[in-house]
Amino acid sequence: DALADRYTIERELGSGGMATVYLAHDIRHDRNVALKVLKSDLAESLGRERFLREIRLAARLNHPHILSLHDSGDAVGFLYFVMPLMQGQTLRDRMREEGQLPIDVAVRLVQEIAEALDYAHRHDVVHRDIKPENILLHEGHALVADFGIGKAVVAAAASGATTLTQVGVTVGTPAYMSPEQAAGDEIDGRSDLFSLGCVMYEMLTGEAAFTGPTVQAIIAKRFHFSPPSVSVTRSTVPASVSRTIERLLERDPAGRIASGALVVAALREQDTSTPAQAARQTPRPAEQSVAVLPFANMSANVDDGYFA
Active site residues: 129
Burial track 252-278 (b if 16+ CB lie within 10 A, e otherwise): ebeebbbbbbbbbebbeeeeeebbeee
13 touches 28 (CB < 8 A): no
Are β-strands 89-90 and 19-26 bridged in parallel, bridged antiparallel, or unpaired?
Answer: unpaired
Tell me the one-letter amino acid at 282. T
37 touches 78 (CB < 8 A): yes
189-205 and 91-98 helices, crossing angle to 10°: 20
Question: Helices marked H in 208-267 — which ranges?
Answer: 215-221, 230-233, 239-248, 260-267
CA–CA dist 83, 192 (Å, integer): 22
Are β-strands 19-26 and 141-144 bridged in parallel, bridged antiparallel, or unpaired?
Answer: unpaired
